[in-house]
Amino acid sequence: MRFARRIARRVLPDPLPPLPPGLSPVLARVYAARQVSGPLELDYRLACLYPLAGLGGIEAAARLLADALGAGQRLLVVGDFDADGATGAALMVRGLRAMGAAHAEYLVPTRLDYGYGLTPEVVEMAAARRPDVIVTVDNGISSLEGVRAARSLGIRVLVTDHHLPGPELPEADAIVDPNCAGDAFPSRHLAGVGVAFYVMAALRAELRARGWFSGRGIEEPNLAVLLDLVALGTVADVVPLDYNNRVLVARGLARIRAGQGCPGIRALARVAGRDPARIGATDLGFSLGPRLNAAGRLADMSLGVACLLAEDDAEALRLARQLDALNGERRAVEAEMHAQALGALRRLEIEEQGALPSGLCLFDPDWHPGVVGILASRIKERLHRPVIAFAPVAGGELRGSGRSVPAVHLRDALEAIGTRQPGLLVRFGGHAMAAGLTLGPSSLPAFSEAFDREVRERAGPAGLSGVLWTDGPLAPEEMAIGVAESLREGGPWGQAFPEPLFDGEFQLVSRRVFAERHLRLGLRAGPSGRTVDAVAFNALEQPWPSPGGAVQIAYRLEVDEWQGKRNVRLVVEEVQPRG
């Protein structure tokens, strides 16, 4: 079962906006379709970042940390168990140590044992290390009980987060979260690691004003060395790449390409088979990020943080290889769960006489709770509707991870369900496109019904029809290495600033299967056009005609490098036969 996506073309403004001279016509068209209105929106110098003074709570956070450093107090960074939390925790620890913190350590609770956030149980574990200050990264904004527990023990708490807060904020000593009500920061899309970077910049400014560096003979740190971590965490967390985030990611990528990335990121690139000199945002999101995330999904994200904090290449590579092995294990678990989910969907389609729910909930008692988010994402892409996948956890509760479509703000939908049916959700949190929740042992049937109804009311039929937006066709002469390279360098591309995608009609010249699931293709562009190479991954279910038949495809243009040779190829995202 697979729902085909409708191919539609983005509308270009008329006239096209003034953009920097020398851009290729293709890249200029791509920028215009993403509402880039002028050269300033493509200026990715660090000086163009939004001022840190506009971020609510940041001055109080800087004073709290500066006071702690001045008193020689013990700081404990509590991170989340995903790539954003790991990069943010590593950045905070690196930054604090570079600024002269005598005691700056980290703690990342395991997903299976402690769940999400600064819970009272995590505070109990943290207290054994005798911290004076707990600093959360990528979590904490909903940790009311945990913050209360920490303060009852005399531990001050700084919450740094980017998730949407609930109706009540934790009673922390300071809170930095651009999504707090009334915050005037121009970008609400900072990742957790981005918030951590801003907090370190504010701390440096506060320490400079206090004469800290000069008084102690400490060299004032260059925080740009942390931008490789910001780039990886921002892309891996799939936050919208608004202008400010593009600046952060672009500068981080530039450091990695220049060989200035930390040993851990260099090692992750090596085990992923990526050349750091040519690395792009796509590599961060689909190669490095999953290897880092694997630790939090199947084991302990402390391994990922340790890799990012490693000071020498040998140690970083040793840890990166462990992460790579975990990622292989994660892929095997995911593949088995995916097959089980598709079987359940086939049965559901029969039972529902062909009508799938608008909001889909899936559960299997044997599923791994660390992988249900990836499973939900795969099924969502396949069926073009919000999906929540559940797995059992200790105590009989069910932990779910959901992925949504643009028509349904997932966290808002969960909040509406929780408001109408108090007690149905044990806890929940997240964003528009991704969220997590916990249910009681017997609550899944009632929640599934409520979720389907909520999605149906919010989305309607149009919101569940998959649309693949493209940048239109390329002429045969534009399918060239130079154009492909300009598109790659024209990023960073990502969420809300999508990688260029094109479409057109082709004649299928040849087709062969490789690695059991993928296709290598020869496609002819137009009656007299040349034949171009193409590849379609996981494409055996797609409706390919026999050689000689016509197809419309949506595709990305890329440079294929193999055994020292470089050729342009098309990477097929969607195919639709033509009569």
DSSP secondary structure string, 230-257?
HHHHHHHTT----HHHHHHHHHHHHHHH
- Residue 454 — pLDDT band, cuts 50, 70, 90? very high
Compute the average pLDDT of residues 61-79: 97
How is domain 51-325 classified at the CATH fold level? inorganic pyrophosphatase (n-terminal core) (3.90.1640)
- Integer Cα distance of 95 and 131 in angstroms: 18
- pLDDT per residue over 129-152, tens digit each? 999 999 999 999 999 999 999 999
* Share above pLDDT 70 across residues of the chain, in percent, rounded to a whole number: 97
Contact 357, 408 (CB under 8 A): no
Give the residue among 503, 504, 471, 506 at the shortest CA–CA distance from 487.
471
State yes or no: pLDDT of 260 exceeds 90: yes
- Residue 355 — pLDDT band, cuts 50, 70, 90? confident
pLDDT at 280: 93
SS3 content of the chain, % helix, strand, coil (to 5): 45, 20, 35
Top-confidence residue, 16 or 44: 44
- Residue 424 — pLDDT band, cuts 50, 70, 90? very high
Domain ranges of the chain: 6-43+469-578, 51-325, 356-465
Instruction: For the beta carbon of residue 445, count every other beta carbon within 10 angstroms.
Output: 9
For residue 206, give the amino acid letter: E
State yes or no: pLDDT of 2 exceeds 70: no
pLDDT at 48: 96
- pLDDT per residue over 510-566, tens digit each? 999 988 888 999 999 876 678 999 999 888 777 788 888 888 999 999 988 777 788
Predicted TM-score (pTM) of this structure = 0.90
Contact 17, 28 (CB under 8 A): no
pLDDT at 528: 67
Compute the average pLDDT of residues 412-418: 93
> How is the beta sheet containing 360-363 ordered, strand by strand?
360-363, 387-392, 398-403, 434-439, 425-430
For residue 9, give the amino acid letter: R
Contact 547, 510 (CB under 8 A): yes
Which structure tokens are listed for 484? 């492909």
- Integer Cα distance of 263 and 287 in angstroms: 16
- pLDDT per residue over 95-118, tens digit each? 999 999 999 999 998 876 666 789
Q: Say whether 429 sits in a helix, a strand or coil.
A: strand
If 0-12 CB within 10 Å is exposed, 13-18 middle and 19+ buried, where does residue 189 land?
buried
Least confident of 2-16, 19-33, 199-213, 316-330: 2-16
Q: Say whether 10 sits in a helix, a strand or coil.
A: coil
Give the residue among 395, 337, 403 at the shortest CA–CA distance from 368.
337
pLDDT at 164: 87
- Residue 88 — pLDDT band, cuts 50, 70, 90? very high
- pLDDT per residue over 301-312, tens digit each? 899 999 999 999
Which structure tokens are listed for 27? 């890249």
Query: Strands (DSSP E) along 84-238, which ranges?
Result: 103-107, 133-137, 156-160, 174-176
- Integer Cα distance of 58 and 51 in angstroms: 11
Looking at the domain that runs over 6-43+469-578, which CATH code has it been given? 2.40.50.460
How is domain 356-465 classified at the CATH fold level? Diaminopimelate Epimerase; Chain A, domain 1 (3.10.310)
pLDDT at 96: 98
- Residue 394 — pLDDT band, cuts 50, 70, 90? confident
If 0-12 CB within 10 Å is exposed, 13-18 middle and 19+ buried, where does residue 538 land?
exposed
pLDDT at 232: 98
For residue 470, give the amino acid letter: T
DSSP result, 178-201: TTSTT---S-S---HHHHHHHHHH
Measured in whole angstroms, how far is the alpha carbon of residue 245 from the centre of its chain? Answer: 12
pLDDT at 471: 96
